[in-house]
Amino acid sequence: MARRRTKKRTHVAPIKAKTAAPITTGNGSARDPKSMVIRIGASEVGSSVSQLASDVRKVMEPGTASRLKERRANRLRDYVTMCGPLGVTQLLLFSRSESGNVNLRVAAAPRGPTLHFRVERYSLSKDVQRAQRHPKGGGKEYITPPLLVMNGFNLATDANAKVPKHLESLVTASFQSLFPPVNPQSAPLKSMKRVLLLNREQADGLQNSFVLNFRHYAITTKTAGISKALRRLSAADKLVHSKNTKRGALPNLGKLQDIADYMVGGEDGEGYVTDGATSGSEAETDAEVEVIDTTASRIQSRKLRADSASQGRDGGADTQAGSTETAVEKRAVKLIELGPRMKLRLVKVEEGMCQGQVMWHEHVHKSKVEIKELKERWEQRKRDKEARKQQQSENLKRKNAAKAESSKARDKDADASDTNDDDDDEDEDYMDMDDSD
């Protein structure tokens, strides 16, 4: 028989189990936190809150379920059950009350705690970008998680403050667990593309409350110390040598006689100068940082490559010492807001996953005696719950044992009936043999 042909041109060979590639997740490591942004009552929250939830999903990318589809029949228990198999560590739940208030709950899966926020004001990403002259978005900013910057979180001096110190530490730890930690010494600068700013308001009338301002920005940099005309020429050079067919960013030099006319700026004389403080260059008002240029230089010609190698042999140690020097470039850092904006007021903190003992409430204040009674009541509820679970497990074991005994009894009866049928068949065979004799 002819051997069957194996298709190799259009079919990929199966990967063996030993050499299988690891499963890639949204972030760089499987231990990085994952989150789900959920609309509780998806058909009731309205279009604005639905768009706000989708904008927050973009903020949480890449470690979030960006294509999550909620159904009307889904309950919070369904999402909590799937947190374990999917590796989800945080849940952000948006809901709207009957009075029209928008609420946000930040819960740590699967056992809490849960932070209840009231969204007092919010602006969608499209509204923020519509108000900007040069909006930014839709690029590669969402490939890496944002940097988390928190300001003014720790203001309490002791546990007896109106907003206790341990509550501030809990809120800080809850927001820090939303994103993977960053090591400033080893993290590459190219991965820092976004910033999430959480600023706590410190007004005099807000001492009893915990109010946060939620802002989301994109980090942009540009070369500092050179004019805008030279930057446009540098960008045009990169655009010409790239595969991009867009030519709208190229400067129009058709009406000029010389490149000096473009650099000097015609009759005005505002041209290229290296000093940023002079009036002839563009004013730089952004923060300037020094960045090491790590791009490797490529030698296109083989002759130039051979010449550089010969110079290296002749130069000896001086050339090697010079090759280790790195170019330092000054760049101006600027933040462009991506949205959304939210003003969050912390209303309540619970121990469990959206149900449990209330640790702090903004409007309800209890005395020490009431707090002690409440703790005893919750302890009694836990004991009753454990007793019910134990009783249910015992009932389940008893039912399984009864089912096993009944199945064994049925098997014995079936074996006995089969044995009796075999004996009757043998007697009939003996009778048939006697009749034949």
* CATH number of the domain encompassing residue 43: 3.40.50.10480
349 and 381 part of one domain: no
- pLDDT tens for residues 271-317? 444 444 333 344 445 576 666 655 555 545 666 667 766 665 555 54
**Is residue 95 within 8 Å of residue 45, measured between CB atoms?**
yes
Flag the least confident range among 265-269, 349-353, 375-379, 382-386.
265-269
Tell me if 320 is assigned to some domain. Answer: no
183 and 157 part of one domain: yes
Tell me if 333 is assigned to some domain. Answer: no
146 and 118 part of one domain: yes
Flag the least confident range among 120-124, 186-190, 367-371.
367-371
351 and 386 part of one domain: no
Q: Which residues contact 64 (CB under 8 A, 6 or more apart)?
A: 26, 34, 35, 36, 37, 57
Dihedral angle over CA of 421, 424, 428, 433, nearest 10 = 100
* Domain count along the chain: 2
Question: Which domain covers residue 89, as residue numbers?
Answer: 35-222+338-362
Query: Based on C-alpha coordinates, what's the Rg of the chain?
Result: 35
* Size of the chain, expressed as the number of residues it contains: 437
pTM for the full predicted model:
0.68
Tell me if 268 is assigned to some domain. Answer: no
Tell me if 301 is assigned to some domain. Answer: no
Report angle CA 34, 336, 155 to the nearest 5 degrees.
65
pLDDT at 355 > cutoff 80: yes
Flag the least confident range among 134-148, 264-278, 400-414.
264-278
Tell me if 316 is assigned to some domain. Answer: no
Tell me if 386 is assigned to some domain. Answer: yes
Tell me if 122 is assigned to some domain. Answer: yes
Tell me if 1 is assigned to some domain. Answer: no
Q: How far is residue 161's CA from residue 163's CA, in Å, rounded to a whole number? A: 5
